């Protein structure tokens, strides 16, 4: 049975912990975290020091981007494959390990908010065929969907994920804030938000654009600008409206 050791205790580490611990066909051997207290499941070994980490087939470093290099400096591994889980860090930061790679989930994962849908893709990378085999075997056993991507393509996908998730979420924060400042319940926009996603899933975003900027409706844009008081909101509103105006006027040329 393939043996795995997990390093980390953040959002992503807890996701892997949950998935791997409950999989009867894989053996999650232990977990190491620099955190002083961690609520480890029964029967799972919690290593007190990085030097105590045992032999395993796969070591998953699921820590913040900033800590990957630091952790990999201290980690002593003779056999098995070491991976990190970052969207934006190159695989070769793990060069000191004979077998290494990456397992990056294209998903927004946080401990406090359970995922609604578990069928998202992982982007994998490996330095040789034996690393690749271990990574693929474990993802196949976990029934996960994965694609082999270079570090460069992974970084581009990560940029797309930041735009489509982090930025979209921030825009919705911004929209909720404006409504609530005027005692309007944000729920009024939820059917629209659902439809927006439905359309992005079904159509090309460039073909379903609506709103004042695409119609070159400067009068409505000016009315909106007057309602905005927060400088970040004003800048965001102007930049995106100008970008839409420019894109669709260029299109007409």
Q: Determine if 62 is a binding residue for its own copies (CB under 8 A).
A: no
Burial of 186 (0-12, 13-18, 19+ CB in 10 A): middle
Q: Determine if 193 is a binding residue for its own copies (CB under 8 A).
A: yes
**Shortest Cβ 107–its own copies spacing (Å):** 6
**Shortest Cβ 159–its own copies spacing (Å):** 5
Q: Determine if 147 is a binding residue for its own copies (CB under 8 A).
A: yes
Strands (E), 54-98: 58-61, 81-84
Q: Determine if 73 is a binding residue for its own copies (CB under 8 A).
A: no
- Written as six digits, the tokens of 186 are 């944000």
Q: 119-138 mask for its own copies (x: CB under 8 A)? A: xxx-x---------------
- Count residues contacting its own copies (CB under 8 A)? 97
- Stretch touching its own copies by CB under 8 A, among 28-36, 74-82, 96-104, 175-183: 175-183
- Stretch touching its own copies by CB under 8 A, among 16-24, 27-35, 77-85, 194-202: 194-202
- Stretch touching its own copies by CB under 8 A, among 17-25, 47-55, 132-140, 177-185: 177-185
- Residues 122, 99 contacting (CB under 8 angstroms): no
User: Residue 163 has what DSSP assignment?
Assistant: I
Enumerate the H helices of 55-212 as residue ranges: 65-74, 129-141, 151-161, 168-181, 190-202
Contacts of 227 (CB under 8 A, 6+ apart): 178
d(CA 83, CA 68): 10
State which of residues 61, 106, 138, 144 lies at the interface with its own copies (CB under 8 A): 106
């Amino acid at each position: 049975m393939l043996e795995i050791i997990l390093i980390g205790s953040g959002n992503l580490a807890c996701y892997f912990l949950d998935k791997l611990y409950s999989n009867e066909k894989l053996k999650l051997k232990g977990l190491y975290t620099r955190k002083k207290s961690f609520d480890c499941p029964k029967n799972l070994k919690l290593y007190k020091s990085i030097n105590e980490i045992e032999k395993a087939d796969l070591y998953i470093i699921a820590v913040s981007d900033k800590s990957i290099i630091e952790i990999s400096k201290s980690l002593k591994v003779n056999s098995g494959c070491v991976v990190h889980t970052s969207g934006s860090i190159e695989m070769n930061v793990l060069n000191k390990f004979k077998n290494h790679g990456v397992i990056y989930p294209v998903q927004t994962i946080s401990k406090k908010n359970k995922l609604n849908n578990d069928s998202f893709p992982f982007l994998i990378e490996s330095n040789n065929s034996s690393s690749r085999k271990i990574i693929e075997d474990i993802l196949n056993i976990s029934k996960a969907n994965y694609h082999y991507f270079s570090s460069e393509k992974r970084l581009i996908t990560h940029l797309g994920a930041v735009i489509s998730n982090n930025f979209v979420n921030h825009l919705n924060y911004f929209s909720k804030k404006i409504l609530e400042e005027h005692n309007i319940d944000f729920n009024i926009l939820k059917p629209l938000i659902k439809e927006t996603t439905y359309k992005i899933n079904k159509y090309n975003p460039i073909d379903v654009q609506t709103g004042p900027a695409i119609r070159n409706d400067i009068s409505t844009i000016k009315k909106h600008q007057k309602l905005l008081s927060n400088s970040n909101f004003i800048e965001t509103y102007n930049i995106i409206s100008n970008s839409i105006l420019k894109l669709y006027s260029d299109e007409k040329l």
